[in-house]
């Protein structure tokens, strides 16, 4: 079981994603903004995967991914997006899933990301 931080500014989308995460046997933690997600990452080193929406007010998913990687360089990151060509996604080593997605797409993405992740997220400078 992995702990997955879901970052989604739309409460209904967040609840749907959390339900899918639970159905896949993982533990969700929900955040409704990039700022809230960063605070949770700062406080909780046991997050195994970051799943974030791309289009959010104040901070995009890619911006959040860059900041999260500065804290945890090996943190697996999944970006959900309605935009087919997400710039810089490959350079950051994130996986993108197009919206609307189905549970099997999340299962496949989680499997790929968690399989290549070292156990435990080592905080930079720790």
Q: What's the pLDDT score for residue 47?
A: 95
| Full set of structural domains in the chain with CATH | 3-115 (3.40.50.2300)
pLDDT digits over 63-118, tens only?
999 999 999 999 999 999 887 666 556 678 889 999 999 999 999 999 999 998 76
Q: What is the residue-wise DSSP string for the chain?
A: --EEEEE-SSHHHHHHHHHHHHHTT-EEEEESSHHHHHHHHHH-TT--EEEEES--SSS-HHHHHHHHHHH-TT--EEEEES-S--TTHHHHT-EEEESS--HHHHHHHHHHHHHTSPSS-PPTT-
Read off the pLDDT of each residue in 38-53 and give the average, rounded to a whole number.
Answer: 93
Q: How confident is the model at residue 61 (pLDDT cuts 50, 70, 90)?
A: very high
């Amino acid at each position: 079981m992995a702990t997955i931080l879901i970052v989604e500014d739309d409460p209904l989308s967040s609840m749907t994603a959390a339900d899918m995460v639970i159905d896949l046997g993982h533990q969700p933690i929900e955040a409704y903004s990039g700022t809230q997600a960063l605070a949770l990452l700062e406080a909780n080193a046991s997050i195994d995967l970051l799943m974030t929406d791309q289009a959010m007010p104040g901070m995009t998913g890619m911006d959040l991914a860059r900041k999260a990687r500065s804290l945890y360089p090996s943190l697996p990151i999944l970006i959900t997006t309605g935009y087919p060509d997400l710039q810089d996604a490959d350079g950051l080593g994130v996986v993108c899933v197009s919206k609307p997605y189905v549970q099997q797409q999340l299962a496949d993405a989680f499997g790929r990301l968690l399989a290549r992740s070292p156990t435990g997220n080592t905080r930079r400078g720790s």
